[in-house]
Each structure stands twice: as structure tokens, then as C-alpha cells.
Amino acid sequence: MGYGFKIIVEGDYACFTRPELKVERVSYDVPTPGALEGMLKSVYWKPAIRYVIDKIIVFQEIDFANIRRNEVKDKVLLSAVKNQMKQKGGDPCIYTSQSRSQRAAMVLKKVKYGIEFHFELTGLKNNREDDGENKHYNILKRRLEKGQWFRTPCLGCSEFPVKRIELVDAFDTEMISSRIKEMGDVDLGYMSYEVQFEDRGKPINGDWENPKFSDRAKTLYYRPHMIEGVIDVQKYREGLRC
């Protein structure tokens, strides 16, 4: 295992969308490892490292709220952006008044999670001798201690930002809600583990200066148990399935 960390994350709302219910968003009861990896990449990320979630602790009672949100149903076309940059015309904008649609969502509220994770070297863009594990560890540790990030970390959806991230030495399991502990051993069923892209983060054209990545991907699933609020991700990812 590479360098490890323990953090506590809090937020007012979270939504870890079930892929089978994507039109009307419905959150899983607990975070997916892929969503937490994405959150960590907002704090610090380089092609040379990948995050691995080892354990998730659910401190607060699982509580849902039903809301309605305005979403845009279109995406900005890359071709339109390129034409605008080359002054060839085109409109890379999305007009919300024309593209807006209202969707229902069932989201989590008042969440607090303990996340134990480590990172591993990928071997990508890691040619310098000083670009090893120790360097990445120190940068990530400093950013977590100071509460720094280069984009706002979110809990599943960008509309639900992280309220607080705290680096800790150990988790206080006494802080886990009594209702969570009373649930005992909970089979969470098959959950999304992560979305794995075919290119594995490496440009398919082999050019890091002008990279072209693949859009082809598959979702990996696993079947974890939450035992008195603790999900041992490291144990259950041995049974990953496509």
C-alpha cells in the first residue's frame, strides 16, 4: 500500500447517483469510491498518481430530502469552442432559458464521512527522479492541512460542495450515530465502484502536449456491507464486476 491518509468530510447535501435512476436522480445511501476519488482529485491531482479508497465511515444517520432542480439538457460542443477560438464563428454558449428542464432528486442531507485512502504511482508523466511518492505525499498533506484545493470538492454533484475537510490521525468511532450502529451488518447490494475509462488516463494519441482521450468507459460494481457504520472497501473490492 502507498502513503495513506484519514480525513473527515462534511456537507449539507450529497448525491451519489444510482446509474439505473439517472433521469430522476436518486442517491445511494452511502458514497461510492469513485465519487470520493473525484473529490480528492479536486484537492490535488497529477497523472502520476491514482487514489484508492480503503475505508468509509458513515457518522451521521442516513437521511434523505426530496428536491426539484433546474438542469440543462445540452452540452457545449467542443467543435463550437474551437471555432470560436480560431475566430471562425460558432456559438459555444448554452442558453438556459431554452435548454432548461426541471428534474426531481432524492438526495442525502447533513452528511459526515470518514475516509481512509492511499495513493499509488501510475507511471504516467513521472520521468523525473524527484517526482516520487514522497513529493506527492508532502504536497497532498500540506493541502489537506491548510484546506486548499484548485476546484471546489463536491459530494457527488457539483451543486453540493464539501463544507469541511479535516485531516485526522484516527477516527473516533464513538462519534458514529447510535442509529447507524443499531443497524448492525447492512448488505448495501450492488453499488457502482467507479467508472473506468478505456484509456486508463493515457492519451490514445500518445501526445501529452495535445492529448486526445477516449470517451469509452465501463462501470465497475461491488457489493459492500456496512457494519456498524464502517464500510471496508478494501475487502469488498476483491469482488469487482462489470
Q: With both helix axes pointing from N to C terminus, report the angle between 133-146 and 33-43 in degrees, rounded to the nearest 10.
A: 90
pLDDT value, residue 19: 86
- Any bridge partners for residue 157, and if so which? 155
pLDDT value, residue 167: 95
pLDDT value, residue 213: 75
pTM: 0.84
Sign of CA dihedral 75, 76, 79, 80: positive
- Any bridge partners for residue 217, and if so which? 197
pLDDT value, residue 197: 81
pLDDT value, residue 126: 56
10-residue stretch averages of pLDDT, the chain, 242 residues long: 84 93 87 95 91 96 90 78 79 77 89 95 66 86 92 92 95 94 94 83 73 80 95 87 72
Q: Is 108 in contact with 15 (CB distance < 8 Å)?
A: yes
Give the whole-angstrom CA distance, residue 102 versus residue 73.
Answer: 10
pLDDT value, residue 1: 47
